[in-house]
Amino acid sequence: MRKNGAQIFVEALKMEGVDTIFCYPGGAVLYITDALYGADVRQILVRHEQGAVHAADGYARASGRVGVALVTSGPGATNTVTGIASAYMDSVPLVVFSGQVGTMLIGNDAFQEADIVGITRPCTKHNYLVKDVRDLPRIIKEAFYIARSGRPGPVLIDIPKDVSAAMAEFKYPEKVHIRGYQPTYAGHPGQIKRAVKLILAAKKPVLYAGGGIITSEAADELLAFAEALSLPVANTLMGLGGFPGIHPQFLGMLGMHGTYAANMAVTQCDVLIAIGARFDDRATGRTDSFASHAKIIHVDIDPTSISKNIRVDVPIVGDAKNVMKKMLEAVEEEKATLREYKQGIAEWLSLLADWKKKYPLGYTKGKLLKPQYVIERIYELTKGKAIIATEVGQNQMWTAQFYKFMKPRTILTSGGLGTMGYGFPAALGAQAAHPDMLVVDIAGDGSIQMNIQELATAVQYCLPVKVVILNNGCLGMVRQWQQFFYEKRYSCSLLQCTPDFVKLAEAYGAVGYAIEDEKEVDKVLKKAFSNGRPTFIDVHVDPEECVYPMVPAGAPLDQMVLV
């Protein structure tokens, strides 16, 4: 059957099982938005193209499916770059469709023309410029396959306006074959056996788990593997929720704002098992001191991540879920050795337990409300049965430290790029994916203003996201660094004209609450979490509170400022 490019677009989305698309229309995509009118694909109109991509990102992280966004050409396309780069850094599967000027106008500096393929080449897994409508079904099929397979990531498809209007026979491909792109899912059997033998010879092992655990749906295998070998587990920021936050073997998050137990364990271990983590600088600190006494096993589906930042001894390229299953099978074959191994690590586990007891995460209460207390109360009121988004900065680190994530896909945060303004639209995407779940964005008064216009989206589509604003009157993490390293010269970090967030919420047709005192926290949070409407909770917290522990940039992990 012959269809125009816009109709092919809609039919292809349906074939891929897409039920929601986050969009902002414009002239170059009017054929497509017209084809979507009345189609069985929910359109959510955001208020900024960056919000569209972050919302698609939140949808993808919370659901495990590919997130989809649609924007117009020129500034519409360029406004997506931050969201695409954030998804690329955090390995989030997205397909972003941008409109483009007609093919005959490309390269002529036409109205609202931008070379978005060239602009996004460094921050997409792959991208396409569609030059012939007959190629559109194949390109869309390939894009979804590339986005979700191997190490996931964003793919951009740029569609000229005349291509969306042109006619062609529609036949959607059944399979994808891309020469040169064949991700490896099964780890090498010999390397798996080497890894297990190395672990069973260890006296001080540590399991270091990252976002690949979430991506590969490997949380059950991680738990089984850790319990079978009595392994202490440290998570990266992206790996939170991949291992239960209250499990006795959990050491907490490692890195710049990691726990004492996690950082010291990695520093002193003799075997480090890294699964689905990429050894980024915020996790490792100074690289020549990171796990410097350890043999390192690294499991990752992306071969380019192995030995990129830290040299490893046993590389295993493969999917975390598949590899851990095989590792568990190999452990089962070593039962006699396993008993000796567990006896040999008893002293190490006792030391780790002692560190956890002596150096827990904490804070000192005072006259002013502490942000850590607010996050503790959010956890106690939800018991992990919520999706938590964060912005970036102090709010992000306090959330990682004081909210106990119990399940995968319950934390949405911009880990690699550190994008202020990410959390609120990402929370909207998660709410669209899970309409019956409580979704909370923990924000700062600086970061929430980056994409605050998406409150209109929340109200229009009845997305009852709760935004808890830790309002300290400043760009908190910037102010903290200025306090520590710049002799308290608070240049451009104090927000001296912050809006009344309660009135602002009400102006959009949402609900607003304010909290000034500790005794109001539970009462207001309970009311907000049960009201069924988009809600801002403006919580006035101690403006001088800092995130501890802290490893100064470039320092080894064991050089922590504890208080």
Tokens of 448: 């929430």
d(CA 442, CA 288): 35
- 221 classed as catalytic: no
- 321 classed as catalytic: no
Mapping DSSP onto H, E and C, the string for 167-227 reads EEECCCCCCCCCCCCCCCCCCCHHHHHHHHHHHHCCCCEEEEECCHHHHCCCHHHHHHHHH
Question: Which is the catalytic residue, given 14, 104, 111, 329?
Answer: 111
Indicate the residue type of 470.
L
Question: Which is the catalytic residue, given 3, 125, 141, 161?
Answer: 161
- 233 to 225, 263, 289, 441: CA distances (angstroms): 11, 11, 20, 26
DSSP assignment string, 518-541: GGGHHHHHHHHHTS-S-EEEEEE-
d(CA 191, CA 256): 31
Tokens of 138: 């194949």
- 112 classed as catalytic: yes
d(CA 439, CA 406): 15
CA proximity to 201, closest of 48, 84, 337? 337
**How crowded is residue 307: how many other Cβ atoms within 10 Å of its Cβ?**
14
d(CA 197, CA 245): 28
The enclosing H or E element of 365 equals: none
- If phi > 0 it is left, if psi is from -120 to 50 it is alpha, else beta; for residue 315 that is beta
CA proximity to 296, closest of 311, 279, 281? 311
CA proximity to 22, closest of 432, 391, 409? 432
**How crowded is residue 197: how many other Cβ atoms within 10 Å of its Cβ?**
13
- 167 classed as catalytic: no
**How crowded is residue 561: how many other Cβ atoms within 10 Å of its Cβ?**
13
- 49 classed as catalytic: yes
439 beta partners: 387
Question: Which is the catalytic residue, given 89, 406, 477, 550?
Answer: 477
Cα atoms found within 13 Å of the Cα of residue 239, Cβ hemisphere only: 32
Question: Which is the catalytic residue, given 3, 9, 22, 49?
Answer: 49
d(CA 253, CA 260): 9
Catalytic residues: 49, 111-112, 161, 477
